[in-house]
Amino acid sequence: GDSVTQMEGPVTLSEEACLTINCTYTATGYPSLFWYVQYPGEGLQLLLKATKADDKGSNKGFEATYRKETTSFHLEKGSVQVSDSAVYFCALRGIQGAQKLVFGQGTRLTINP
């Protein structure tokens, strides 16, 4: 079945550092790919998405590119802020069982001033 594997955390960085959170997936065909963010005590918010190969999703300075050849969707940001501290989830929506999002286990990110 479909699955998502993402970089284990926790990840701790200093403000203005570069961020990469790795995400790889296993799925049939061309799934839609997502990054969700969960701030402390809150629900999940859609951060960015890509629905076909080579698409680049971007939002709030974060970017991720849908790489079919490596089945990856790594999250990147050039300069992180303290306010980026949160848990980040990579997820896919497969072409089969279309009502279901499959999530990675989440990566906790802490940014120190």
Count of H-run helices and E-run strands, the chain: 0, 12
Contact status: 89 vs another protein (CB under 8 A): yes
Three-class DSSP category at 98: coil
The number of CA neighbours under 13 Å toward the Cβ of 42 is: 12
Q: Which stretch binds another protein (CB under 8 A): 12-20, 36-44, 59-67, 71-79?
A: 36-44
Q: Does 19 bind another protein (CB under 8 A)?
A: no
Could you list the residues that contact another protein (CB under 8 A)? Answer: 4, 32, 34, 36, 42-46, 49, 51, 89, 93, 98-101, 103-106
